[in-house]
A and B are shown apart, each in its own frame.
Chain A
């Protein structure tokens, strides 16, 4: 029994690894994709950071407002004149900064306390300009407060009267939980890698074997059917795990490429995290392999099996979204659903939170149950599948 299963395992593994073209596609789509997305996101965040660091404010008619320019420069902002066709550029979204428009009479009206009008010009369809408009507004409020404080002080009124209370922001999230918010993509891509890794091998050893007409002769060997199924399943799960390991490891060099300093500091994914991921994914790879085999053994052709496996893909793709969109946080039942349980626990690893032994055990038990039921089904179906 054991030696037959081992023989089947070795053959199926060699067979799957020789399918270079499929393997390459899986590697490209699931192993290279994650780090690529990570790098793209980091590029985006880095460009925001760069803009924030530059501290440039565009003022049209800055020669009319030396007091305001003086204030802005004291806040370490650089004041620049906008390009000539700034209105058109804002509409075309090629200019990413809101423009402050000052009227010629600004300085005189300010001195006479006549509340001069300034305009912050932005474009609702231009999200970058909209974002910077908020920054400009904050700057102007600072300027107004400074002017008001000076005038009150001139009249002998304590400036504190203007501020009956003080407001400050405090963020409770530490760097680990901030990084988890952004790094939900890592568990997600790793889950996909396991699924796509298992998919081809699982379908090939069942529906593919039927389509080729090699299942019937295979059953004419004096080997236990359960041994044949066990060997096939082990090979499929091994391929799935191999892809999962590669996918986890690919995020290690991926994070060196992160261009945003703050992001790189927040995104903690070391060898320890990768190892924890692999450990959490092992039962999932086993369960998904068995499940896909059980679905595919009913199908006469590889194509039919692919169509049927879409259900599994959909479920595995959608379940982790419960975490992303769920407003109520983690629920105990999350751990009872494969895929959702793994993404919950992987998110915990990224947040640097611990796990109870029971919480690790539940998904393992569920996966074991899925494996037993699915493989039992495949063994029972094997003979009738061979004949049709």
Chain B
């Protein structure tokens, strides 16, 4: 379970007259339960990536905290990271290593033995349908192959919590479907807590048990897809999202963020 509690983060760029402050996240709170897929939906610049980076311990928040299974990320980052698998926006692989070596490297850094990591690679390869890729060097991998490899890398230590930042970016239909299928299996068969950020409506409609709409660093709506449709009185989810993310409440938040 991942709990985000009243999180705030401001970025300062430039200095003197060039100085600009941007409030990326402003008092955001959310709970992502186990056995559920929670979607973080929002337009570009809504603060999704910043929130997920704070959750992964890469950025210190100005205020608030993130708890992973009750462990505070900012206090015990290594314990929290051991219970979390993160597929970040950056998915760089080592081109001179094979897919298997890339994945096992992370397993070893998670403190697994060589044998355990190797065994786990085979399990993941089965689940992500990437067995033929394993012993090829990752140089020249397609986007879909890269995504599978980096997802396997993030899941090598079988973490109870999975965080994905725009995982379908740059993927074709087949690769997207394969990813969706994998996430469903992780939820249903393993009871994982899955959080992913996206700005693609279809993803959310097809996959999410719970949707959190963010805009201007604030949460503007929360619920299942059906609940959000009902709340806005729309039949089309895209229309509902536009009303929520660009509606009066969201606009007020945007104004606050840029100030």
Residues of chain A having any CB pair with chain B under 8 Å: 3-4, 7-8, 11, 14-15, 18-19, 209, 212-224, 383, 386-387
A218 to B153, CA, bound (A): 10
What residues of B have a CB within 8 angstroms of the CB of A15 in the complex? 94, 96-97
What residues of A have a CB within 8 angstroms of the CB of B53 in the complex? 387
Count of CB-CB pairs between chains A and B under 8 Å: 80
What residues of B have a CB within 8 angstroms of the CB of A214 in the complex? 90, 92-94
Contact between A386 and B93, CB atoms less than 8 A apart = no
Q: Which of B77, B87, B109, B150 makes the CB contact (< 8 A) with A7?
A: B109
User: Distance in Å from the Cβ of A76 to the closest Cβ of chain B?
Assistant: 66
Contact between B86 and A217, CB atoms less than 8 A apart = yes
What residues of A have a CB within 8 angstroms of the CB of B95 in the complex? 212
A222 to B85, CA, bound (A): 11
Contact between A221 and B91, CB atoms less than 8 A apart = no
- For window 87-139 of B, CB contacts with A under 8 Å fall at 87-97, 101, 105-106, 108-111
Residue B190 interfacial (CB < 8 Å): no
Q: Which of A3, A4, A14, A216 makes the CB contact (< 8 A) with B97?
A: A14
| Minimum-distance CB pairs A-B, first 7 | A214-B92, A213-B92, A213-B90, A212-B92, A222-B78, A221-B109, A222-B81
Residue B75 interfacial (CB < 8 Å): no
A15 to B78, CA, bound (A): 26
A33 to B245, CA, bound (A): 65
Interface size on B, residues (CB 8 A): 33
Contact between A4 and B90, CB atoms less than 8 A apart = no
A217 to B84, CA, bound (A): 12
Residue B56 interfacial (CB < 8 Å): yes
User: Distance in Å from the Cβ of B215 to the closest Cβ of chain A?
Assistant: 23
Contact between B92 and A220, CB atoms less than 8 A apart = no
Q: A7-B105, A223-B109, A387-B53 are in contact. Are A216 and B90 (CB under 8 A)?
A: yes
CB-based nearest B residue for A211: B92
User: Distance in Å from the Cβ of A43 to the closest Cβ of chain B?
Assistant: 40
Residue B154 interfacial (CB < 8 Å): yes
Contact between B92 and A222, CB atoms less than 8 A apart = no
CB-based nearest A residue for B53: A387
Residue B63 interfacial (CB < 8 Å): no
A387 to B54, CA, bound (A): 11
- For window 4-41 of B, CB contacts with A under 8 Å fall at none
What residues of B have a CB within 8 angstroms of the CB of A215 in the complex? 90, 92
Residues of chain B having any CB pair with chain A under 8 Å: 53, 56-59, 77-79, 81-82, 84, 86-97, 101, 105-106, 108-111, 150, 153-154
Contact between A222 and B90, CB atoms less than 8 A apart = no
Contact between A387 and B59, CB atoms less than 8 A apart = yes
Contact between B94 and A220, CB atoms less than 8 A apart = no
Q: Which of A8, A11, A14 has the most CB of B within 10 A?
A: A11
A219 to B90, CA, bound (A): 11
What would 12 more interface pairs be, CB under 8 Å, given A14-B101, A222-B111?
A7-B105, A11-B97, A15-B96, A214-B92, A216-B89, A217-B150, A220-B84, A221-B81, A221-B106, A222-B109, A386-B90, A387-B53
Contact between A222 and B153, CB atoms less than 8 A apart = no
A222 to B112, CA, bound (A): 12
What residues of A have a CB within 8 angstroms of the CB of B92 in the complex? 209, 212-217
Contact between B58 and A219, CB atoms less than 8 A apart = yes
A8 to B105, CA, bound (A): 8
CB-based nearest A residue for B60: A383
A223 to B110, CA, bound (A): 7
A209 to B94, CA, bound (A): 8
What residues of A have a CB within 8 angstroms of the CB of B96 in the complex? 15, 18-19
What residues of B have a CB within 8 angstroms of the CB of A3 in the complex? 108, 111
What residues of B have a CB within 8 angstroms of the CB of A387 in the complex? 53, 58-59
CB-based nearest A residue for B150: A217
Contact between A386 and B110, CB atoms less than 8 A apart = no
A18 to B58, CA, bound (A): 30
Q: Which of A11, A18, A209, A217 has the most CB of B within 10 A?
A: A217
A19 to B88, CA, bound (A): 27
Contact between B93 and A221, CB atoms less than 8 A apart = no
A3 to B88, CA, bound (A): 25
What residues of A have a CB within 8 angstroms of the CB of B105 in the complex? 7, 11
User: Distance in Å from the Cβ of A109 to the closest Cβ of chain B?
Assistant: 83
User: Distance in Å from the Cβ of A18 to the closest Cβ of chain B?
Assistant: 4
Contact between A213 and B91, CB atoms less than 8 A apart = yes
What residues of A have a CB within 8 angstroms of the CB of B109 in the complex? 4, 7-8, 218, 221-223
User: Distance in Å from the Cβ of B104 to the closest Cβ of chain A?
Assistant: 9
User: Distance in Å from the Cβ of B141 to the closest Cβ of chain A?
Assistant: 12
11 CB < 8 A contacts A-B: A3-B111, A4-B109, A15-B96, A213-B92, A216-B88, A217-B92, A218-B109, A220-B154, A221-B110, A224-B78, A387-B53
What residues of A have a CB within 8 angstroms of the CB of B89 in the complex? 216
What residues of A have a CB within 8 angstroms of the CB of B79 in the complex? 222
A8 to B95, CA, bound (A): 16
A337 to B231, CA, bound (A): 72
What residues of B have a CB within 8 angstroms of the CB of A219 in the complex? 58
Contact between B81 and A220, CB atoms less than 8 A apart = yes
User: Distance in Å from the Cβ of A341 to the closest Cβ of chain B?
Assistant: 35
What residues of B have a CB within 8 angstroms of the CB of A19 in the complex? 96
